[in-house]
Structure 1
Amino acid sequence: MTAASTVPSTPRGAPRVVVLAGGMSHERDVSLRSGRRVAESLRDAGVDVSVHDVDADLMPALSESRPDLVWPLLHGASGEDGSVRDVIELLGLRYLGTGPRASRVAWSKPIAKSLVARAGLATPDFVTLPQSLFRELGAGRVLEALLSRFGLPLVVKPSHGGSALGVTLVRDAAELPRAMVNAFSYGDTLLVEHAVEGRELAVSVVEDADGIRALPAVEIVTDGPYDYDARYNPGRTEYFSPARLSTAEADAVAAVAVSAHQTLGLRHLSRTDLILDSAGAPQFLEVNVAPGMTETSLFPQAAIAGGHDLPKLYRSLVLTALA
């Protein structure tokens, strides 16, 4: 299904932008909501904007309309693994956001964690396990080795994906098999890492005419795990934006987010998720090349906390991408 709309009153000469939203991943609904919110803000900023789903009509529509810029607001597979961005490049169009190769690196949690660790950032110890290994070696023995190596608590998650789909915090060994099944329902490979206790934070990074900079950190407090329901349904989660941090802590987490953005070769915008542990040290968890932009998403909250007007900020990102 294709949704398209423009604003007739858009000033002459305004950039023509196509926002891509939807797709067929598990995060389709979030993507549609993100696309609508960004399109509304861009229209408020005087941008000629339309929204298009990722379907069989997309390539003919882009080839015919030849927009000035494409903004992929796609979450999950294809939207964040670089493939749609590859297609945009094949069509010879410009787009906002990270390129396809760096997107693939960031999309893979184990690879991203390995690269930022090599760059000197702290990240919880982890192991990556394909589903086939459990069949070949025996699930019981693998689980025993995990518990012996990491102890509890553990975090089990798919090696790819976002919105906390398939993520489980395991505090009891009896919960581990179910957590594995949950993660494997979203992919063939999972990541198991030591669960770091501390404050959960999200730090967004923007890259525009003013350079690369971190927005104020957002602190996340939930009445349970920060899962899909807690992220996108108001009421379960309390956000502190900006986060309740000392100046030194705020500077430290901002430096981690900017370093991750640069180390992984990201462009224009990103969001780094991390834990500030009990010793006050930031622990990198993962990075997002297409942060959510819904009414409860962390990137818009951070931008507002930083004193930004969303329409102006999004227009600034568009102009930077066009430049």
Structure 2
Amino acid sequence: MTLPKLHVAVLMGGWSNERPVSLMSGEGVAEALEGKGHTVTRIDMGRDVAQRLAEAAPDVVFNALHGAPGEDGTVQGMMDLMGLVYTHSGLATSVIAIDKELTKQALVPHGIPMPGGRIVETETLFERDPLPRPYVLKPVNEGSSVGVAIVTAEGNYGNPIGRDAKGPWQEFDRLLAEPYIRGRELTTAVIGDRALLVTELKPKSGFYDFDSKYTDGMTEHVCPAEIPDEITAACKDLALRAHQLLGCKGTSRSDFRWDDSQGVEGLFLLEVNTQPGMTRLSLVPEQARACGMDYPDLVEAIIVEALEDARGAGGRAK
């Protein structure tokens, strides 16, 4: 569809651990839309977000929030009740995709390879390991590698884990324990019905954590990844299938770990991000640019899908 000049509310900020990233994403989106001639209302989400959205009465909301409550279905449900058109995934998809255990339950039965593991109560970690070392501990419903710890055989956090050791066990009552998969960090973006490219991430720290993701110069992005064609094809196929199985809208980004000593059998999907970052350092804009789509056109493409989806449903129905 040809995009007319619109009034777009860009929803950003909020109060999750990913607030700084969301503010950067939102400002980038807002500037891109203004550069295209659209009217933009910036909304740094507070508890009065419903009132502010109602007062703005936009044609469409660009959801640039990351983490709860903007990525877990809470804000999506509110906007559904308000009858607003908004970008990215709807309520049900958001509830499932932000929860790593629910994501496994939705995808693994359809042949999507994901690491095994289980949910553990944090208190049990100070008594015994939930899995053989090395293993990974991560929050069940956080993104951007917030609170991820790799517990090694050398006892980097103590053996058993010490209560005073700095890690996610100090913030969360329940954690997901997964086997550690050696190898390489890969990621693939999906826009609409198309998987774009595969990027390999080479963090200088050795671990792709929050700082490595959002600090310029701390991670090398190899785009497209220098990997065998069969791995590229597998990443793109799995990312698109996961996007479709979960019912994602707009754009998503699937993160993988690949043990390159095992070929395709060593490839595992870690998670699907339903509202991936839109900062200038972010991976989705980088892959889109490599495919010939500049940042403002990417932003408009996400809005176009939201408008077409709402029009086809006769309103917002997810």
Distance in 1, matches of 2:302 and 2:57, equals 19
Distance in 1, matches of 2:33 and 2:186, equals 27
Match for residue 143 of structure 2 among 162, 174, 182: 162
Question: What secondary structure is seen at the aligned counterpart in 2 of 1:215?
Answer: strand
Q: CA deviation at 1:187?
A: 2.8
**Aligned 1:102-181 pairs, distance under 5 A:** 102-131=93-122, 134=124, 139-140=126-127, 142-143=128-129, 146=130, 150-172=131-153, 174-176=155-157, 177=161
1:264 maps to 2:246: yes
Distance in 2, matches of 1:78 and 1:113, equals 21
Match for residue 306 of structure 1 among 280, 288, 291: 291
1:38 maps to 2:38: no
Aligned to 1:64: 55
1:293 maps to 2:278: yes
Match for residue 227 of structure 2 among 237, 242, 245: 245
* Residues 106 and 112 in structure 1, CA contact (< 8 A), matched pair in contact too: yes
Distance in 2, matches of 1:33 and 1:184, equals 28
Q: CA deviation at 1:183?
A: 1.6
TM-score (norm 2): 0.88
Distance in 1, matches of 2:200 and 2:54, equals 42
Aligned amino acid, residue 157 of structure 1: K
Match for residue 319 of structure 1 among 270, 288, 304: 304
Aligned to 1:8: none
Distance in 2, matches of 1:185 and 1:303, equals 38
Distance in 2, matches of 1:62 and 1:126, equals 41
Per-residue CA deviation, residues 93-134 of structure 1 (Å, 9 max, x unaligned), is: 110111111101001011102321111011111111133x62
Aligned to 1:3: none
Q: CA deviation at 1:19?
A: 0.9
Unpaired runs of 5+ residues, structure 1, are 1-11
Q: CA deviation at 1:213?
A: 0.7
Distance in 1, matches of 2:306 and 2:258, equals 32
Distance in 1, matches of 2:170 and 2:65, equals 20
TM-score (norm 1): 0.87
Aligned amino acid, residue 318 of structure 1: I
Aligned amino acid, residue 263 of structure 1: L
Distance in 2, matches of 1:166 and 1:178, equals 16
Q: CA deviation at 1:82?
A: 0.6
Question: What secondary structure is seen at the aligned counterpart in 2 of 1:190?
Answer: strand
Question: What secondary structure is seen at the aligned counterpart in 1 of 2:89?
Answer: coil
Aligned to 2:314: none
Aligned residues: 298
* Residues 204 and 299 in structure 1, CA contact (< 8 A), matched pair in contact too: yes
Unpaired runs of 5+ residues, structure 2, are 309-318
Aligned amino acid, residue 297 of structure 1: S
